[in-house]
Chains A and B, each alone.
Chain A
Amino acid sequence: MHATGITPPQGVWWKPAHKSEKVWATIAFVWCMVLFAMMPFWHLRGGQNPSGIRAKVDPLAYQARVMEFIQDYQVGTDAGFPVVAPPPGSDVYLIGQMWAWLPVLQLEKGAEYTLHLSALDVNHGFNLYPFNVNFQVVPGYDYGLRIVPTEAGEYGVVCNEFCGVGHHLMVGKVIVTEPEGAQ
């Protein structure tokens, strides 16, 4: 005899399950294994993984590195922000601070870069528009992501982690150009 959920079951209730329950439990278990296997599988075969090179960094040292990077590769300015065009294959740096992303990056389509993300003051969020690519930007931590821009165009960088009252003003920019010699 069954109990309801509010009556104490009497005697031994460890009894074999019905066949339908066993069928569903088996389907659910196999599905859970599929869900699990997809993540290592994507690390082996997929093109998008949040692994990166991760290190602790002093926020001020990181800021100094960004300034050096801007000096080395600046090609112009846009809305008062330095535009920086690093060579393909190099390390590129972006810093989030209240309330701006620095600098504007100019990258080549199809080239690989290591994009470093970190913050000067509080947590910020990296969101690449119109592609919906999102990463957490934490002060004191350098997140180096190997990226390959697959389409040319202009991209917005929207801050999507609350960082104080000017949060909604924090928009940066990434420009992706066709590779030289492609024209």
Chain B
Amino acid sequence: MKTLFRRCPTTGLAVHKDADALIKANAVAATVALLVGGVAAVLVLLTRWQAVHLLSDVWFYRILTVHGMNMLIFFILFFEMAVLYFASAVLLNSRVAAPKTGWIAFALMVAGALIVEWTMLTGRADVLFTSYVPLKAHWAFYLGVILFAVGAILVTTIFFATLVVAKREKTYAGSVPLVTFGAITAAIIAAITLLHGAAIYIPTFLWSLGLMDVDPQVYRLVWWGLGHSSQQINVAAMVAIWYLLGALTAGAVVVNEKISRTAFVLYILFISMASAHHLLVDPGFGPSWKVVNTSYFMYMAVLASMLHGFTVPAGIEMGMRLRGFTQGIFGWLRRAPWHDPGFSSLCLSLVVFGFVGGITGVTFGTEQINIVAHNTLRIPGHFHATVVSGTAMAFMGATYYLIPLVFRKKISFYGMAKWQPWVFSAGMLVFSMAMTFAGTFGVPRRHWDITFSGAPFGVEYSPAVDLLFALMAAGGLVAAVGGAMYILVTVVSVFFGKPLGDDLSESALAGSVPPGLYTRPFAELPTDDDEAAQLKEHGRLGPMPGTMILVAVFFLAFVVYYFANWKLLSAMWQIG
């Protein structure tokens, strides 16, 4: 049994060889999907930017389908499978419960993905990511998605089984770490999501063969139980990674386990209701249903995100202060490891997700405000700030630690890796904000030609839209460069990188891996004396004054944006 494990010299954890291999395979598949989706992203961008208008109408919608499926399903879910193995087997010192099943699941997911890619690229599935019935794709498209989802369900099951094995074999003492708790949250939401996926894709598959009918409105309801909930897996996984990166890079502590874990439980209980966000201006549902569901039963999932938005920076602040960075209100933030790509990814992900993605999401998800947002560019503006600037950025930051920890390789082009989060995040920020503002002028999403040449009636958007499209293109291209930097660094490191070696001292590793791996701030937990000293009053702002100020700024931005949108809505025709 012993030979199946290696002892991680950095963290002291025992790592199961199967866990290692499964994490590697899923992470590599994720990166391939990211590359395909990224190339598609550039093609879509250069077509929507009317000044270039690269692709034909047919190929635009085809490549947009490829972009959506690769990014939102294949990249994200393959990476999350790697996160599930990491958070269960690695963090809990355990073996993987059923490694052979893990490989079957991986094979199913790869096969499903390949079938879907084939149907899309051969023009058999020009139905976009949402594939709203009665737009019809080739039956193999739905079958491919089903195979992929079955694989993902198997991995989720293995994850839960691994938790049971770890508990029974007593591989850890105490409660599961918070990062694992977050991954459990993600896995539970994944189970809910994938069941919705089965509930909609299996009937749709049968419909495509002519064996049954599927109601278009019921399709939208159940499909969004998959489509939106899968983004909530991302949120939970991303928050778990925030806690992971906070610990690894800055020695962040968990200020209060109860608060952070309760917030995760709120996600499990309420976040799946958010599929209603997509149905607010649909004919099939009444106002009470819309209000209760879109608000996740009185915004309890928003409360959860606002709690994490506090506890993540508060944990970093307290961790830094307990290690002696006590100067002033923001001394801890100035002295934080900004040159560590794991830390900069964490901060950029947190800020852009919160300020741009979170605020716009809650606002657009308001029943009435959705009238001035639904299916405009405001929607992709919102979700590029959450899924790309938030989730993908956090995943990228985690990769810089996974490569040395799991692949046992140094980071190639480490200088480029340090810049990558900044380039990617800055580009995405400009891109998503320009998109959101263009949407306020009514510019539709998923549209090949907003000059409407050939249409019976003309619609001419404000000249500001041209400027916003140019900004969108510039930001998008910068982000694409950032994405290419990430792929270059990870692929070269994993396949051609120098082995990490046995010398884990600073002199051996500086400049080739993120500094958290040799300074190891997570290894020295502060003592009770440190804490007692720290918790003595810091004046009115309490022991985490910097975080209090940061969340106050966030709150102000939230209130202003939210009510500005009510104002915008009240200027419309009366509708009831």
Nearest-CB distance from B493 to chain A (Å)?
Answer: 22
Chain B, 287-311, contact with A by CB distance < 8 Å: what is the 0/1 string? 1001100110011101100110011
Q: A5-B178, A35-B302 are in contact. Are A135 and B576 (CB under 8 A)?
A: no
Say which one of B99-107, B229-237, B370-378 lies at the interface with A: B370-378
A123 touches B244 (CB 8 A): no
Chain B CB within 8 A of A33 CB: yes
Residue of B nearest to A136 (CB): B282
Q: Does A71 contact B (CB under 8 A)?
A: no
Cβ A165 vs Cβ B574 within 8 A? no
B366 interfacial contact with A, CB 8 Å: yes
Max count, chain B CB within 10 A of own CB: residue among A21, A80, A100, A132: A132
Residues in A whose Cβ lies below 8 Å from that of B134: 121-122, 139
Contact (Cβ within 8 A) B298 A6: no
A131 in contact with B573 given A4-B254, A141-B217 (CB within 8 Å): yes
Within 8 A of B (CB), among A24-49: 24-25, 27-29, 31-33, 35-36, 38-40, 42-43, 46-49
Asked if B531 and A1 make an inter-chain contact with CB atoms under 8 angstroms apart, the answer reads yes
CB-CB < 8 A to A33: which residues of B?
298-299
Residues of A within 8 A of B243 (CB): 5-6
A156 to chain B, nearest CB (A): 4
**A134 interface neighbour in B216, B217, B372, Cβ under 8 Å:** B372
Contact flags B439-456 to A (C-beta < 8 A → 1, else 0): 011101111111010111
Contact A145 B457 (CB under 8 A): no
Q: How far is the CA of A39 from the CA of B366 in the complex (A)?
A: 7
Contact B574 A48 (CB under 8 A): yes
Q: Which of B442, B456, B458, B569 contacts A127 (CB 8 A)?
A: B442
- Provide the bound-state CA to CA distance between A9 and B370, in Å: 43
- For window 122-168 of A, CB contacts with B under 8 Å fall at 122-123, 125, 127-143, 145-151, 156, 158-168
Highest count of chain A CB atoms <10 Å: which of B373, B525, B573:
B573
B457 touches A173 (CB 8 A): yes
B254 touches A5 (CB 8 A): yes
Interface stretch of the complex, out of B24-32, B330-338, B386-394, B540-548? B540-548
Q: Which residues of A contact B522 (CB under 8 A)?
A: 4, 6-7
A172 at the interface (CB under 8 A from B): yes
Given contacts A39-B368, A168-B448, A168-B455, A141 and B284 within 8 Å (CB-CB): yes
Q: CA of A3 to CA of B216 in the docked complex: distance in angstroms?
A: 49
Is the Cβ of A46 less than 8 Å from the Cβ of B256? Answer: no
Which one, A20, A35, A136, A165, contacts B543 given CB within 8 A?
A20
Stretch of B76-84, B145-153, B167-175 contacting A (4+ beta carbons < 8 Å): B167-175
Q: Mark B487-502, 1 if CB is under 8 A from A, else 0.
A: 0000000000000000
User: Which residue of chain A has its CB nearest to the CB of B454?
Assistant: A169
Q: Which residue in chain B gives the minimum CB-CB distance to A117?
A: B283
A50 to B302, CA, bound (A): 23
**How many interface contacts (CB-CB < 8 Å) are there between A and B?**
352
A183 on the interface (CB 8 Å rule)? no
Q: Bound complex: CA of A28 vs CA of B216, how far in Å?
A: 37
**Pair A165/B61 contact, Cβ less than 8 Å:** yes
Contact present for B174 and A32 (CB under 8 Å): no
Tell me, yes or no, whether B126 is within 8 Å of chain A by CB.
yes
B572 touches which of A125, A133, A156 (Cβ 8 Å): A133
Within 8 Å CB of B58, what residues of A?
Answer: 165
CB-nearest residue of chain B relative to A135? B281
Q: Are B371 and A13 in contact (CB under 8 A)?
A: no
In the complex, are the beta carbons of A127 and B215 less than 8 A apart? no
Whether B254 contacts A134 by the Cβ 8 Å rule is no
Across-interface contacts of A139 in B (CB, < 8 A): 134, 216
Q: In the complex, what residue of chain A is closest to B445 when comparing beta carbons?
A: A160
Contacts of A140 in B (CB 8 A): 215-217
Q: Which residues of B contact A145 (CB under 8 A)?
A: 575-576
Considering the chains assembled together, what is the distance between the CA atoms of A139 and B217 in angstroms?
A: 8
**CB-based contact B566/A38 at 8 Å:** yes
CA distance A145 to B575 in the complex (A): 6
A20 touches B456 (CB 8 A): no
Q: Which residues of B contact A143 (CB under 8 A)?
A: 282-283
CB-defined contacts of A170 to chain B, threshold 8 Å: 455
A3 contacts across to B, CB distance below 8 A: 177-178, 253-254, 257, 525
Q: Which of A15, A160, A173 has a CB less than 8 Å from the CB of B376?
A: A160
The residue of chain A having its C-beta at the shortest distance from the C-beta of B373 within the complex is: A134
CA distance A166 to B302 in the complex (A): 39
- Any A CB within 8 A of the CB of B527: yes
- Closest A residue by C-beta to B57: A165
- With contacts A81-B456, A162-B446 known, is A48 near B282, CB below 8 A? no
B503 within 8 A of A: no
* Residues B575 and A50 in contact, CB atoms below 8 Å apart: yes
Min CB distance, B243 to chain A, in Å?
A: 3
What is the CA–CA distance of A28 and B452 in the complex, to the nearest angstrom? Answer: 44
B179 at the interface (CB under 8 A from A): yes
Q: Mark B47-80, 1 if CB is under 8 A from A, else 0.
A: 0000000000110010000000000000000000
Beyond A50-B371, A134-B374, whether A162 also contacts B319 by CB under 8 A is no
**Besides A2-B255, A141-B282, 20 other A-B contacts (C-beta < 8 A):** A8-B177, A20-B541, A21-B256, A21-B259, A31-B559, A39-B294, A46-B570, A50-B290, A51-B576, A79-B457, A132-B372, A132-B442, A138-B284, A141-B217, A148-B573, A150-B573, A162-B135, A171-B456, A171-B458, A172-B457
4 smallest beta-carbon distances between A and B, as pairs: A5-B243, A143-B283, A32-B299, A160-B444
22 A-B pairs (CB sep. < 8 Å): A4-B525, A5-B178, A9-B254, A10-B173, A13-B261, A24-B307, A39-B295, A47-B574, A48-B368, A49-B368, A49-B575, A50-B367, A51-B286, A81-B456, A133-B372, A133-B575, A145-B576, A146-B575, A149-B573, A158-B452, A165-B57, A168-B455
Residues of B participating in the A interface, judged by any CB pair closer than 8 Å: 11, 57-58, 61, 91, 126, 128, 132, 134-135, 172-179, 182, 215-217, 220, 240, 243-244, 246-248, 251-259, 261, 279-287, 290-291, 294-295, 298-300, 302-303, 306-307, 310-311, 314-315, 318-319, 322, 362, 366-368, 370-376, 440-442, 444-450, 452, 454-459, 522, 525-528, 531, 535, 541-544, 547-548, 551, 555, 558-559, 562, 566, 569-570, 572-576
By a beta-carbon cutoff of 8 Å, the part of chain A in contact with chain B is 1-11, 13-15, 17-21, 23-25, 27-29, 31-33, 35-36, 38-40, 42-43, 46-52, 54, 78-81, 100, 112, 117-118, 121-123, 125, 127-143, 145-151, 156, 158-173
